[in-house]
Amino acid sequence: MDQATTPYGFIQDGKIYRNAFLEYPEREIGEVRESEASTIKYFEDRFEMARNKVAQLEQSVNDSENKGSYLMKLIHMRESLAKFDALGDYPSLYDRLNAIEDELRVIITQNRIKNLEIKRALIAEAEPHEFSSDWEEATDQLKEIKGKWIKTGAVADEYHEEIEVRFNEILDNFFQRRKKFFDERKQMVYDRVRRYMDINNELYRLQRAPDRQQALERAKELQAEWREVGKIPGHKYIKLIRNHKSLTNRLFRSGGSGGYNRSGGYGSGGYDRSGSGGYDRSGSRGYDRPGGSGGYDRSDRSGGYDRSGSGGYGRTGGYNRSGSGGYGGQQRGGGGYRDQQNWMSPEESMTRKKDLIAKAQALIGNQNVNTMEEVRQLRDGWKQSGRISRERSIELTETFNHACEKALETSFLERLVTSRNPEFEDKNIVEQIQLKISLLSNLISRDEEELERTKVDNERLGSSSGGRYSSDEDRKAAGRLRSQIRKVRVKKELLTELQNALDKYL
């Protein structure tokens, strides 16, 4: 068979060539096998595969609501089509692809106009919160708005920088002010707790003062100073006031007057229960928070002030001079102050935990940072993020651990695939995804085998009830097992995402 038998190519020296078309030169696509006729027919039949791919893309675009998402797939198909080994009417396929692209670009332009309107509306919605001091409400609103912003598509290039700068400016202004407020409040609480402790320390030293009358006068001055210190979270104040009462009662009993008895007021050396400082008994519930009023509601806690006149930090009576329970500046025991993290309210803890989760999720796929170091810092921050209800703690901890693990696994996969494939960056997107899928599949197989061995080695852990283990070693083993299970689950999730991404290009 000679060249005239096909308008799309020719045979020369036992090889078959595709004709040049558009800007693409002629190209060798194979060798003659059984006969020239059968070889030409084979490559003409292969062209139907390319025709079907274009038809499928066209149908997908017509059926999809998000048509603009197919533009990159179309561009990739046009690039790969020229390298496809077949004989046929390539120009007609390119005409169809160009027509589809023109349609998509019109749609994308229209979508970007709509996206600009949406993002401007979101900016207008966010602006009232930019300088708000209702921290909880504004935080929730801005996070919701940011979620909508992320889900909204791109805008025209000429507007991109303008709206991105303004939106980020709103977020930065609010969250920087919010951080400054809580940092200052935390420092204020810390300073007040230290002042309460200093007063109690001085009361303790007065117990041994040689001049009893002078000691009593100074104790009354310290009582007045106590009232002027200011509010702190109730669970901290109640420990300090119990020790304060114990120390004061001992002084006044030995001096024969006043103290924190039920009949004595401040005028006789007692405690003026109508005064300020510590709990605000006349106000509404809780520590004075932004947007709220009043102070600590005694009805919300069991106990309140210890009116028996005994107690102190050890709660077992008086001041324990042995150092095992009394007030001496220790951070542990029946009382005293602990780390500043414990002064956070549940609302503050919840906000901090959600911020850490958002930061962990932002690390996923970010190759411009040291992921391992960032995750380490986030995990350290999580340990210091305070306490919330058990149910919410379990849920948020799992979300946080999953995000950290996914960030680490994504970073590890990127480093591993590039180290094993020096020319990785030069390959097209399809080849890159295929390399990642192959590598990740092998990693999953290895991890699953290791997980099965671990399960067999730790069968006894399955019989533990309610998460209780017979030894620290069992508890650590259970933690390692959970970590392995999470690693496998995250790798499988990444594999599914890569396979879905590959499907879009094929």
Counting Cα atoms < 13 Å in the Cβ hemisphere of 238 gives: 21
List Cα–Cα distances, 26 to 13, 16, 48, 95, 484, in angstroms: 15, 10, 20, 19, 54
Residue 150, pLDDT > 70, answer: yes
The phi, psi pair for 2, rounded to 5°, reads -105, 180
pLDDT in tens, 88-107: 999 999 999 999 999 999 99
**pLDDT per residue over 480-492, tens digit each?**
888 889 989 999 9
Highest mean pLDDT among 21-35, 281-295, 396-410: 396-410
* Contact status, residue 246 vs residue 312, Cβ threshold 8 Å: yes
Q: What is the pLDDT of residue 462?
A: 52
Nearest to 119 by CA among 157, 165, 167: 167
Percent of the chain with pLDDT over 90: 38
Query: What are the DSSP calls for 391-431, one per residue?
Result: HHHHHHHHHHHHHHHHHHHHHHHHHHHHHH-TTGGGS-HHH
Single out the residue of 406, 338, 378 nearest to residue 197, CA to CA: 338
Q: Look at residue 403 in the predicted model and tell me its pLDDT.
A: 93
Q: Residue 36 — very low, low, confident or very high, per pLDDT cuts 50/70/90?
A: confident
pLDDT over 60 (residue 407) = yes
φ, ψ of residue 16 to 5 degrees: the values are -110, 140
Banded pLDDT at 255 (limits 50, 70, 90): low
- Across the chain, mean pLDDT equals 79
What confidence category does residue 290 fall into, taking pLDDT thresholds of 50, 70 and 90?
A: very low
Of 121, 130, 123, nearest to 172 by C-alpha is 130
What CA–CA distances, in Å, run from 146 to 174, 367, 375?
13, 22, 23
Is residue 10 within 8 Å of residue 17, measured between CB atoms?
Answer: yes
341 or 326: which carries more pLDDT confidence?
Answer: 341
Domain spans in the chain, listed from the N-terminal domain onward: 3-111, 179-343, 346-505
β partners of residue 368? none
Residue 468 has pLDDT above 90, yes or no: no
Show the beta-strand stretches assigned E in 8-81: 9-12, 15-18, 27-31
Closest CA to 53 of 5, 3, 90: 90
DSSP 20: P
Query: What does the pLDDT read at residue 463?
Result: 47
Q: What percent of the chain has pLDDT over 70?
A: 78
pLDDT for res 505: 64
The pLDDT value recorded for residue 425 is 82
Q: 225 near 189, Cβ under 8 Å?
A: no
- Between strands 15-18 and 27-31, the pairing is antiparallel
pLDDT value of residue 262: 37
Residue 48: per-residue pLDDT? 92
pLDDT at 404 > cutoff 90 = yes
Q: What is the mean pLDDT of residues 394-418?
A: 91
Sequence-distant (6+) residues with CB within 8 A of 22 are: 90, 91, 94
64-78, 165-179, 191-205: least confident range: 64-78
- What pLDDT is recorded for position 506? 54
